[in-house]
Structures are given as C-alpha cells and as structure tokens.
Amino acid sequence: MHGAGAGGWEWAIWARVFTARGVQVRAPDLVAARSGLAATNFADYRQQVRDWIGPDADDTPGAQRVLAGASLGGLLALSVAAEVRPAALILVTPMPPALILPRLSGEPYPEIVRWGEQRSIAGTRRVMPDADDAACLFAFRRWRDESGAALEQARRGVTVEFPQCPILVLASERDTDVPAHVSRELAVRCGADFELLAGCSHVGPLLGVRAGHIAERAVSWVLSRLA
C-alpha cells in the first residue's frame, strides 16, 4: 500500500526486486470514493485494502500473502492486518496508530491536499533528498492530490489491533514526517523486527538511491520468516 499523494508506482523498485526473488507483487492505487476526493475518508481507503488482500482476493493454491505499506499505506496495512491475517507484514516509515505518542503534529489538512495540482520539481527534490534526478522526475510526474480527511483522521489517531504474524518496521534516520523514534516505539509495542535506515528520508526506502538494496533486505527477511 502506497503513501499519501502517491500510487502503486511508488513500489516500482521494490516490485522488481521481489519479482526477481520469485515473489508476485500487486501494488494497486488507492482511489477516491464515488462522492469525490474531498469526501473520501480513511475508512474508504481501508475498505479498498481489505478488498485487495481479503481471503477471496487470491485463489492461488498454497499462496502466502504478505502485506506491505508505506507512510499512510503503512497505517492502512496495519489497520486491516489482524482481520485479513497476512503471513507477514512490512511497515515502511508508517504513520503511527492512536496508541503511539506523540502523535504527528501540524496544521489541519484542507479538504483536498493539492500535491498533484501544485507539484514542482523543486518541491519533489526537497522531499526526496536521497534520490537521484531520474527518481525525482519519475515521482514529480506522478504525484496526485490527496484526501485531507483521510490524512486528518490518520493524524488524530486510528485504533488498531496488532496482528499475530511476523512484522518488520523500517524507519528512516532523516524522516521529518514520521520521526524514527515513533516507528521504533511502534515496533516495540507490536513485537516487530526494527531497522533504522541511515541517511534515508521519509520516501527514501522506496525511491531513494538505496531503495534496491533496502528492498533486497526486505525480501530476504520475508523469505526467511516464511521458510
């Protein structure tokens, strides 16, 4: 599950790495509710995730589903995991659930956050300081507007039930959106494996120059836990 203002494209590097190791990857895009983006809330996105990874979503015999989410997508993945019961869960710089304090601060979000409409290459480089020019251009062309309601609900706190499966939490040392100590606290609370990624920004684990290496470590973790 991708982060706010992004899409399944955000996982392109990870998808190549996981596919090369024999893991089939699905990275769908979250979409606005029928009533429009301004009326879309966290529950709308959560239902989409449930539908994508629910027990009827894959009829491949013997398949083991692994759920991965980044930022807002991390909180979405965590919020459904106890219900859909993936074989393992990967959380990349995830927005924290309600029980993790301090919660994220900042001004209230507008109805629609105009990340797509108002995007710029300079702004993209600011949020991706650990990415090369090609990755910045790739992301710049694809940012989309986001639901302010979904983000505000996530920031105010979403109550979750921790799943009974192996969990990996990846935190970025230079993350100014979800500080690493918040992700560390989440890992402690849910009994997850934790890794601090030196020099990475909030989106660096997926789009930065080290994304391929980080994805390789993540898929190795998955395969070791499911062996």
Tens of pLDDT, residues 118-143: 999 999 999 999 999 999 999 999 99
Say what the pLDDT of residue 225 is. Answer: 95
At 165-212, the pLDDT tens digits run 999 999 999 999 999 999 999 999 999 999 999 999 999 999 999 999
Place of tokens 């301090």: 102
At 31-75, the pLDDT tens digits run 999 999 999 999 999 999 999 986 555 556 678 999 999 999 999
Q: How far apart are alpha carbons 52 and 66 in whole angstroms? A: 12
Say what the pLDDT of residue 104 is. Answer: 61
- 76 pLDDT exceeds 90? yes
- 109 pLDDT exceeds 90? yes
Say what the pLDDT of residue 59 is. Answer: 58
Which amino acid is residue 119, in one-letter code?
A: R
Which amino acid is residue 113, in one-letter code?
A: V
Summarize the confidence of residues 149-164 as an average pLDDT. Answer: 95
Q: If you compute the radius of gyration of the chain from its CA atoms, what whole number of angstroms results?
A: 16
Compute the mean pLDDT over every residue in the chain, rounded to the nearest whole number: 94
pLDDT top residue among 59 and 16? 16
% helix / strand / coil in the chain, to the nearest 5? 40, 10, 45
Place of tokens 């251009």: 137
